[in-house]
Chains A and B, each alone.
Chain A
Amino acid sequence: MIETKNINFYYGSFQALKNISMKMDANTVTAFIGPSGCGKSTFLRLFNRMNDLIDDTKLEGECLIKGKDIYDKSINIDALRKDVGMVFQKPNPFPKSVFENVAYGLKVNGITDKKFIANRVEETLKAAALFDEVKDKLNKSAFELSGGQQQRLCIARALAIEPSIILMDEPASALDPISTSKIEELIHQLKKKYTIVIVTHNMQQAARVSDKTGFFMLGELIEYNDTKKMFLNPDNETTQNYITGRFG
């Protein structure tokens, strides 16, 4: 589904990613772990070209999604971002109603059929396990929801436009334990339909939700393995030290 080949990435003269090659399969959950500042977010943002919004950056290497180089000149970035959804660390609903938040992606992608939009909003809110909690508040401001609900709303918002990949950058780090477990539960459900890449600082979370795990350090991919293997018996000693909490 996603494949990178020898990725180098620079902020100005600072090299944030070093020669990263990696492959992620469809309908799997891949977790990125590693100490702060090691480049997990940077790497994640490559897949929907969010790094393009940052000035003075440089990319070397290839990044393929469904076999196509997404940095090719022929690629339509808006269409790419429609297919590769993203959920951010801090819930960032728009200052609009719950309904409008979910409908937004549909509207900007040219869908005008009101009935279709209403149906899709309901479907996606259900898929994001949020519908029962907000069905009486669809026209209320999204800011009236709790932090956890807001984050699930942001997931619903991303799901509404039917992406095939969902990128999540520490989606639960700003949430309480119960909201966190709801999100993890949700990730389990979503896996059936979507390919998910999640950045997390929480080892247990990575162990719980992911099929494969990549461990990054100082811009390098130290180890990439099945999550089970990674947490029980990693190939690399640094990984072992990090996972058991000896540093980081």
Chain B
Amino acid sequence: MNKKTKQKLAFLLFRLFSIIIVGILLSILGFIAFNGIKVINWEFLSTMPKEGMTEGGIFPAIVGTCYLIIGSLIFAVPLGVMSAIYTVEYAGNGKIVRFIRMMTNNLASIPSIVFGLFGMALFVTKLGFGDSILAGSLTLGLLTLPIIIRTSEEALKAVPESYRTGSYALGASKLQTIRKVVLPCAMPNILTGIILSVSRVSGETAPILFTVAAYFLPNLPDSIFSQAMALPYHLYVLATSGTDIEASRHMAYGTALVLVVIVLFFNLTATILRQRLSRKLKNK
């Protein structure tokens, strides 16, 4: 075989593999969409489950997931962004910072079920929050903290040094420089991290398993100390431990579709937002 045919063959092979991968992804999505779309209607999205979860809707699970998203963001965004500001803007590149960075990276690779266990031990039991939206949000917050810190750090580092010096040269303090120049400039990328963490939060089951998720609740949660239903856990319940698994199968596909749509929606928003904002800030 000469060089040219080898080249061609390799090219074909690479192309084939990428087509296969895209095919697999599309068929997963197609499968969920095909099976789920049949049950999706306004009633499904806006009412409580009925008849041992074989009829009715998934409204409380959607609400619960929204609460958990908001709750985890309230906790993780300020903490994560401030921690990134500290390591990038204040702490230089000493031993301590490298240690912090190593820890955040390790934190990111801990399996989410371990976070769930930790959340149960700390928030549910030790701090006495019980199985609650608060405990679940904090646990999910912990899980997303490394993502937010990481992306915020990268975002801050990407801000040209010349903006900072330009600001200092005008008599601005460090804090003013960070608030008025560095943060606005880093915002598109920070937002991306936040939105990615939202899509993570909406999809995780393990961390909420022991900290907030309820099998079934007749009412919507009324405080941060209530338990809540959530989409991923609801899906798990429908698929494995409902009263009549076969009869609730269609509900499971519907739930899966809603979940996938939510996650894709957030990912898409992140991408679009980042492109928009960075084009606005770009030098030409």
Contact = CB atoms under 8 A, between A and B. Distances in A.
Given A141-B280, A143-B284, A92 B170 contact: no
B156 to A, nearest CB: 14
Interface stretch (B117-125, B147-155, B160-168, B261-269): B160-168
A94 B181 contact: yes
> Chain B: interface residue count, which band?
20 to 34
Contact of B170 (A53, A55, A104, A141): A104
B90 to A, nearest CB: 13
Interface string B131-175: 000000000000000000000000000001011011111111100
Contacts of B281: 95
Given A94-B181, A104-B180, A109 B171 contact: yes
Nearest to B171: A82
A55 B92 contact: yes
A230 to B, nearest CB: 28
Given A108-B180, A143-B282, A143-B283, A85 B170 contact: yes
Interface in A94-110: 94-96, 104-105, 107-109
Contacts of A185: none
A108 B163 contact: no
A94 B282 contact: no
A17 interface: no
B176 interface: yes
Interface string A79-99: 111100110101011111000
Contact of B168 (A53, A79, A94, A107): A53
Interface string B181-208: 1001100000000000000000000000
B176 A108 contact: yes
A124 interface: no
Nearest to A160: B170
B171 A79 contact: yes
A105 B280 contact: no
A78 B282 CA distance: 29
Interface string A50-63: 10010100000000
Given A78-B171, A78-B172, A104-B180, A92 B92 contact: no
Nearest to A92: B162
Given A88-B162, A92-B163, A94-B163, A161 B283 contact: no
A90 B170 contact: no
Count chain B CB atoms within 10 A of each CB in A53, A85, A92, A93 and give the residue with the most. A92
B167 A94 contact: yes
B165 A88 contact: yes
A225 B95 CA distance: 49
Nearest to A142: B283
A108 B173 CA distance: 8
A158 interface: yes
A95 B167 contact: no
Given A80-B171, A95-B283, 7 more contacts: A50-B168, A78-B173, A81-B170, A94-B166, A104-B170, A104-B180, A108-B173
17 contacts: A53-B165, A78-B171, A79-B171, A85-B170, A88-B169, A92-B160, A92-B166, A94-B163, A94-B167, A95-B185, A96-B184, A108-B170, A108-B171, A108-B180, A109-B171, A143-B283, A161-B170
